[in-house]
Chains A and B, each alone.
Chain A
Amino acid sequence: MFTPGSKFFLGLTGFSLAVCVLYIALVDNATGGAVALLSIATASGVVAGLSLFNRDGEVAVGDTAAPASAEQLTASMWPLIATVGFVGVVAGLITHPIVFFLGLIALLAAGTEWLVQSWSEGASSDKVYNASLRGRMLHPLEFPILATVGLGVIIISFSRVMLAVSKDAGAIIFIVVGSAVLFAGAIFALKPSLKKTLVVGICVASAVGVAASGIAAASNGLRDDLVKAKKEHHFSHKECGEEESEHFDHLAEGTISMRSNPIATIELRDGKLTARELGVDKVTQTITFPRSNDATIIFRNKDEREARLTAYLGTKAVQDGVVEEVLNCTQMIGIDHEQALTFKIAKPSMASEKPYTLTVPGLEGQSIEIMVP
């Protein structure tokens, strides 16, 4: 009466319902989990019904014995992988989320593969036809996923290597690896008669080599200057006091999006500070920003010494009766260098006792006033 497929899904339905009852009884605020479990029960119940209705895809099953001439089913690794996945899920619950998710992925992958393989092996007594049926079902999933995972592993491994070695060594490795890939590709293209096993062997060995190098590099950690830069928040760290940072990502400030956006460019040249507003072809000592809006300016140092730009943005109360100045600064900018500075002023100029200004510490009598209407 019940087909193998429907038995499986009916079992899953019953199991989900039982777990749902336990979950609701044992866990507070159980709405989300209960909905998920009931959804699984409903979905598997529907699939069980479909499975019963079409007798597992019109395959002779159940009480019809396999013909004596039928070939033996192939051994399957999926139960083993499913077990590993299940253990990973359980272990992950008490160790680390990543273990849980890896286990879940293994469990889902094994479940899908096992299900389709079992179904296809019962489709007919022709083993080749069954295998092609399985391929038609799973190859559109398997190939893209495996290719993505494979490429991901190679890219991540290679990036770990590049982050672990010095900049000079990185450049050399990049050239060597790139040349090797180009050389191997050229050989494969020019010698189509090469044995397939040789080509596959070279590719697999290279991929394994890159992955192994990546694992070794990752375990060795980042190179010293990157570790230090990370500690200094090198993408955003801007100081108004004594310069402490050694690293700053100047390239991040050089992106098109940042450079196409400044409302004004502030330039220090020959000891004089001037501003040039977006769309206005003349210099000025006053710039105007809308309130409560992020504004970006570029500070360009054309002077003969290092300099930083300091934005005075009013005051704020830090405790009852205690106010402190709100400052925002670029880092010390070298000669002929520049840096973007983004800030927001919530209150209009009339709310501040002192005008909002842009100044260069140590440069007397030079400032750009920021007007906020």
Chain B
Amino acid sequence: MSTTTRRIVAGVSGLAATSFLASCAKDAPQDTWQPKGSNAKIIDDLQQPVFAIAGVVGVIVFCVVVYCIIKFRDRGQAMPEQTHGKPALEIGMTILPALILAGVGVFTFRTVFDLSKTSDTQMVVNVTGQQWWWEYDYPAQPELGITAPIITSGQMVIPVGTKVLLRETSRDVIHSYWIPALNGKRDAVPGRVHTLRLDADKPGIYAGQCTEFCGLSHANMRMETVALSKEDFAAWVANQLADAKSPAENTLAKEGEAVFLNQCVRCHQVNGLKKADGSPAIAAPDENVWSGAAPNLTHLMSRNTFAGASWDLLNKKCRANVWGASSETVGKKYLAGVSEECLNQTDLRRWLRNAPAMKPMYADPTQLSSTNGKYRGMPNLGLSEDDIDKLVAYLSTLK
């Protein structure tokens, strides 16, 4: 074997080995080959054989091409005898791929119809995408203990073993919802409602990512689905149905509430928050934000992430404790929320200090003419360090 050939073989082998090893990553929460719910299993049951068939066909084609390149390369030999067509071979080469594709097509159609079934829905969640976060609202479903609508964002919580129907839409541009471990992806389109089913076999936290390019911070539009046991889910629902409690007088958190009322309530709703005159403080994101919505923060510290699930509210140690928990213990650990000692103060303070510096957004107040003065994303509010201290103290109370 010549030196050149050896180098080519070594290069190709190295590339193949790297690709192979890359597919064996241990910490790959968005791995499409590890289904954790019945819908994802339906897809997996289709993609495994299709991938195998495609792989075999691909290898055969590749080998034939390589064989032809080497065997029939130009060595200055005479032109071989030219023949026009080989009907038997041509018919065979047409029929065989057609049969393979027809076979794949039958099973693909069956899978598509299986995935679109909604008649056995046990729970409904409205999922609304906007630049660059996901909102989840749960309609009242008394049979599940949801006696009044619940609203949250970033992390969607579902009970295990329950067929959940997502009704997806968007407030601005097209987004796409994808939790690879639980199902395929589905576009969220403004003005339309698309359905997607999810269910999880075991308690756990399943990560996802917006898969339709949706603007500047598309890469920072993440989402997580948290599957809890039915008992844990009931506890989560009970907590979400409650209004936020006002902090005790003469505390830093109470001062933070005043800052929140002065600055944040223009866009962010906290259910139960009252103005100085005792009337409910109603956020008006429709007047300030291009999409018309901002995350409801009533139970901010009951979720583990913020800013479109792109940053953790838990510090590294506590996050590892929750995400690394077994399916038996993850529910309890998740429901514990974000305690004072677990709060990732660094990122939260950075966010409050200058949000657009962390997450690129069209939030420059001097460049809002195309959106009639409305922000896309959270602007830099110019808060003082004193205000940030107070706000962090207040937000920490929103369990």
Q: Which residues of B contact A262 (CB under 8 A)?
A: 193
Q: Which residues of B contact A372 (CB under 8 A)?
A: 149
Q: Which residues of A contact B135 (CB under 8 A)?
A: 290
Tell whether, in the assembled complex, residue A286 and residue B140 are in contact, meaning their CB atoms are under 8 Å apart: yes
Q: Type the 1/0 row for A153-176, where 1 means its CB is closer than 8 Å to any CB of B.
A: 000000000000000000000000
Known: A263-B193, A373-B137. A351 touches B121 (CB 8 A): no
Write the chain B residue with the least CB distance to A286. Answer: B140
Tell whether, in the assembled complex, residue A292 and residue B285 are in contact, meaning their CB atoms are under 8 Å apart: yes
Which 4 pairs from chain A and chain B are nearest by CB?
Answer: A292-B292, A288-B139, A346-B286, A373-B149
Tell whether, in the assembled complex, residue A261 and residue B192 are in contact, meaning their CB atoms are under 8 Å apart: yes
Tell whether, in the assembled complex, residue B282 and residue A350 are in contact, meaning their CB atoms are under 8 Å apart: yes
Number of interface residues of A (CB under 8 A): 29
Known: A347-B282, A373-B150. A293 touches B292 (CB 8 A): yes
Tell whether, in the assembled complex, residue B128 and residue A279 are in contact, meaning their CB atoms are under 8 Å apart: no
Write the chain A residue with the least CB distance to B171. Answer: A293
Chain A, range 296-325, C-beta contacts under 8 Å to B: 296
Q: Which residues of B contact A349 (CB under 8 A)?
A: 149
Q: Is A281 in the interface zone, CB < 8 Å from B? A: yes
Tell whether, in the assembled complex, residue B121 and residue A281 are in contact, meaning their CB atoms are under 8 Å apart: yes
Q: List 29 A-B contacts (CB under 8 A).
A: A261-B191, A261-B192, A263-B193, A278-B167, A278-B193, A279-B167, A279-B195, A280-B121, A280-B165, A281-B119, A286-B139, A288-B139, A290-B126, A290-B137, A290-B169, A290-B171, A290-B293, A291-B286, A293-B169, A293-B171, A293-B293, A294-B190, A294-B191, A348-B269, A351-B282, A371-B148, A372-B149, A373-B137, A373-B150
Closest approach, in angstroms, between the C-beta of A253 and any C-beta of chain B?
15
Q: Which residues of A contact B193 (CB under 8 A)?
A: 261-263, 278
Q: Is A277 in the interface zone, CB < 8 Å from B? A: yes
Distance, CA A346 to CA B121, complexed state (A)? 29
Q: Type the 1/0 row for A329-348, where 1 means its CB is closer than 8 Å to any CB of B.
A: 00000000000000000111
Q: Is A273 in the interface zone, CB < 8 Å from B? A: no
Tell whether, in the assembled complex, residue A279 and residue B165 are in contact, meaning their CB atoms are under 8 Å apart: yes
Q: Type the 1/0 row for B98-130, where 1 means its CB is closer than 8 Å to any CB of A.
A: 000000000000000000001101001010100
Distance, CA A346 to CA B293, complexed state (A)? 9
Q: Type the 1/0 row for B165-192, where 1 means its CB is closer than 8 Å to any CB of A.
A: 1010101000000000000000000111
Q: Is B14 in the interface zone, CB < 8 Å from A? A: no
Chain A, range 6-29, C-beta contacts under 8 Å to B: none
Q: Which residues of B contact A350 (CB under 8 A)?
A: 271, 280, 282
Q: Type the 1/0 row for A270-285, where 1 means its CB is closer than 8 Å to any CB of B.
A: 0000000111110000
Closest approach, in angstroms, between the C-beta of A326 and any C-beta of chain B?
13
Closest approach, in angstroms, between the C-beta of A86 and any C-beta of chain B?
39
Interface of B is mostly: loop
Tell whether, in the assembled complex, residue B269 and residue A293 are in contact, meaning their CB atoms are under 8 Å apart: no
Q: Which residues of B contact A263 (CB under 8 A)?
A: 167, 193
Q: Is A104 in the interface zone, CB < 8 Å from B? A: no
Tell whether, in the assembled complex, residue B285 and residue A277 are in contact, meaning their CB atoms are under 8 Å apart: no
Q: Is A210 in the interface zone, CB < 8 Å from B? A: no
Distance, CA A289 to CA B149, complexed state (A)? 10
Additional pairs, 14, CB under 8 Å, beyond known A278-B167, A279-B167, A287-B139:
A263-B167, A263-B193, A279-B165, A280-B121, A280-B165, A288-B140, A288-B149, A289-B126, A290-B128, A290-B171, A293-B128, A350-B280, A371-B148, A373-B296
Closest approach, in angstroms, between the C-beta of B378 and any C-beta of chain A?
16
Known: A350-B280, A373-B137. A279 touches B121 (CB 8 A): yes
Residues of B within 8 A of A (CB): 118-119, 121, 124, 126, 128, 135, 137-140, 148-151, 165, 167, 169, 171, 190-193, 195, 269, 271, 280, 282, 284-286, 291-293, 296
Distance, CA A290 to CA B139, complexed state (A)? 10
Tell whether, in the assembled complex, residue B292 and residue A279 are in contact, meaning their CB atoms are under 8 Å apart: no
Distance, CA A263 to CA B169, complexed state (A)? 10
Closest approach, in angstroms, between the C-beta of A246 and any C-beta of chain B?
29
Q: Which residues of B contact A277 (CB under 8 A)?
A: 124, 139
Distance, CA A291 to CA B293, complexed state (A)? 7
Closest approach, in angstroms, between the C-beta of B151 and any C-beta of chain A?
4
Distance, CA A11 to CA B168, complexed state (A)? 62
Q: Which residues of B contact A279 (CB under 8 A)?
A: 118, 121, 124, 165, 167, 195
Closest approach, in angstroms, between the C-beta of A206 and any C-beta of chain B?
44
Write the chain B residue with the least CB distance to A347. Answer: B282
Q: Which residues of A contact B124 (CB under 8 A)?
A: 277, 279-280
Write the chain A residue with the least CB distance to B192. Answer: A261
Residue from the set A291, A348, A351, A371 with the largest chain B CB neighbour count within 10 Å: A291
Closest approach, in angstroms, between the C-beta of B375 and any C-beta of chain A?
14
Known: A373-B149, A373-B150. A288 touches B195 (CB 8 A): no
Q: Which residues of B contact A371 (CB under 8 A)?
A: 139-140, 148-149
Q: Which residues of A contact B150 (CB under 8 A)?
A: 373
Closest approach, in angstroms, between the C-beta of B37 and any C-beta of chain A?
17
Q: Which residues of B contact A296 (CB under 8 A)?
A: 191
Write the chain A residue with the least CB distance to B126. Answer: A290
Residue from the set B118, B169, B193, B284 with the largest chain A CB neighbour count within 10 Å: B193
Distance, CA A292 to CA B284, complexed state (A)? 10
Distance, CA A349 to CA B291, complexed state (A)? 19
Q: Which residues of B contact A351 (CB under 8 A)?
A: 280, 282
Write the chain B residue with the least CB distance to A342. Answer: B191
Q: Which residues of A contact B151 (CB under 8 A)?
A: 373
Q: Which residues of A contact B282 (CB under 8 A)?
A: 347-348, 350-351
Q: Which residues of B contact A288 (CB under 8 A)?
A: 126, 137, 139-140, 149
Q: Type the 1/0 row for A344-373, where 1 means its CB is closer than 8 Å to any CB of B.
A: 001111110000000000000000000111
Q: Which residues of A contact B271 (CB under 8 A)?
A: 350
Distance, CA A261 to CA B170, complexed state (A)? 13
Distance, CA A373 to CA B124, complexed state (A)? 14
Distance, CA A277 to CA B137, complexed state (A)? 14
